[in-house]
Chain A
Amino acid sequence: MEVSPHMKKDNIYWNPVMETLPREKLRELQLRKFKKIFEWAYNNSPFYKKLYKDAGLEPGDIKRYEDIVRVPKIDKGMLRDVQTRPPFPYGDMLAVPLSEVTEFRQTSGTTGTPVYQADTWQDWDWWAECWAYILYAQGYRDTDRLFIPFGYNIFVAFWACHYGAEKLGCEVVPGGVLDTEARIMKMKELRCTAFGATPTYVLGMADTARKIGIDPKTIGIQKITCAGEPGASIPTTKKRIEDAWGAKVYDHIGATEIGAWSYMCTFDSRGLHVNEGCFLVEIEDIDTGEIIDKPGKNGKMIITAFDRKAKPCIRFDSKDVIRWADYDCECGRTFRMIDGGVVGRADDITKVKGVLLAPTAIEEVVRSFAELSDEYEVVVSKKGDIDDILLKIEIKPEFEAQKEGILGRLKDELRVKTNLGYKMEVHPYGSLPRYEVKAKRFKDLREH
């Protein structure tokens, strides 16, 4: 249990009323808000109107919370498809006149063709509001100087963090086109107290700082908010980052098509709160399609954003695999927690040699070895009828002499954690690709 010493329990909520609303009242609020966004989409988005009419649903049919599961889901494939149809560029999903759209972003394209996202100014204000919930819960205050080492481009990434932090009153330093060295120097020069980036880049920055003779711990960073990858919810990766920077590390989860829907607070890093005032999260059993309400069972997340108007996100099948936590957080928030963040992707968990494998399990093992660098790569291929799995790693120069012992222990640990045997390939330190945004460390070369 970690409690920031400067936090008093009466000053930890962005909205103390919303965040401590009794569960039954929260449920009532969610039903009411679901009905509202359903009606908005039905009346304003031709795409949603057709989807719901085809399912025999119209506003007024959602009376009880249990009726929500009758509403058809949408998925990324549908979002990609709709933008190939007129009107350009969002297709007929748009629920406001194009003249009201002020923001364009697109998904990173990690899983296929990027999806275009439209937002009105109010939607953008809502993004910032969701981030204000996150940052306040993670101890950010108007005395913080937050550095954002992000490229400020077509990806939403830390754009909304920037606006959310401004809303909180933080002093925000945009680290846009600077290279990594310049970013580190600027953070040091300005005595920044916090920054936000992907876990991969946070580790990469620490590495670069050391190369230019700066111990990251001396910069004065107190907290780091991670996004874009599950790393900050993987205990071994989180510890690596905290040890490198001497700072607290917090995870948050969001997506371009959804919004920033979940966050770690300063009290309990085992899980993340779902912002249930702004989102409805349902967990669906991958095999049966039943909604899972009990803690501990993995399922696919189906999510609704209540207040996003231009391109509504209603019962979006995100393919993210999550599970409800079987513990409550001592912070007093009534927002339910998910245990361990996003534990995988429904389309990412793959079978290798007949065994179900989640890439995050490999990361957890690799990052637990202090002798290894932060980078690794997994390549799955097929030799004849047999799957082959190759793990590429880097051994830190000072541990080169212990190579055989390290490889032996790594193989054993991976077998225990993933039930699979791996071929190992040791690469020179610093030679595997380094990533600034989302890392692509898992490569499946098999034909599916």
Chain B
Amino acid sequence: MGNYNIKEMAKKIKEIRKTAEELQKLGGDIEAVKKNVVRLLSSTAMLELNICDISDLV
């Protein structure tokens, strides 16, 4: 089993969420931004499920 820096990964994922949410605000009513950020945030949620949720348990 490899050694993984889970805490650092979790930190980066949080930054991705923050950046995506900021982008959503900046996008205003541009649908092409809004809807693509929804997909970006969904993928981010899957990273959170896999990494952030367990980062303090390992």
Contacts and interface: CB of A to CB of B under 8 A. Distances in A.
- Say if A and B assemble together: yes
B57 to A, nearest CB: 4
Nearest to B1: A16
A18 B1 contact: no
A124 B43 CA distance: 11
A84 interface: no
A129 B2 contact: no
B39 A21 contact: no
A107 B38 CA distance: 27
B37 to A, nearest CB: 11
Q: Which of B2, B6, B42, B51 has the most CB of A within 10 A?
A: B42
Nearest to B58: A17
Interface residues of A, number: 22
A126 B39 CA distance: 12
Given A122-B45, A126-B46, A33 B1 contact: no
B31 to A, nearest CB: 13
Majority SS at the chain A contact face: helix
Q: Is the interface of B mostly helix, strand, loop or mixed?
A: helix
Contact of B50 (A18, A20, A120, A121): A18
B41 interface: yes
Nearest to A36: B53
B54 interface: yes
Interface in A116-157: 120-122, 124-126, 129
Contacts of A124: 42
B32 interface: no
A121 B41 CA distance: 10
A29 B46 contact: no
A138 to B, nearest CB: 19
Interface string A31-58: 0110000000000000000000000000
A21 B42 contact: no
Contacts of B30: none
Which of A17, A20, A33, A125 is most buried by chain B, counting CB atoms within 10 A of its CB? Answer: A17
A242 interface: no
B54 to A, nearest CB: 6
Given A10-B1, A121-B38, A17 B54 contact: yes
Interface in B5-58: 6, 38-39, 41-43, 45-46, 49-51, 53-54, 57-58
Contacts of A126: 45-46, 49
Given A124-B42, A125-B43, 18 more contacts: A16-B2, A16-B4, A17-B50, A18-B50, A18-B54, A25-B54, A25-B58, A29-B53, A29-B54, A33-B53, A121-B38, A121-B42, A122-B42, A126-B45, A126-B46, A277-B50, A277-B53, A277-B54
16 contacts: A16-B2, A17-B6, A17-B51, A20-B1, A21-B58, A25-B58, A29-B57, A33-B53, A121-B38, A122-B41, A125-B42, A129-B50, A277-B49, A277-B53, A278-B49, A307-B45
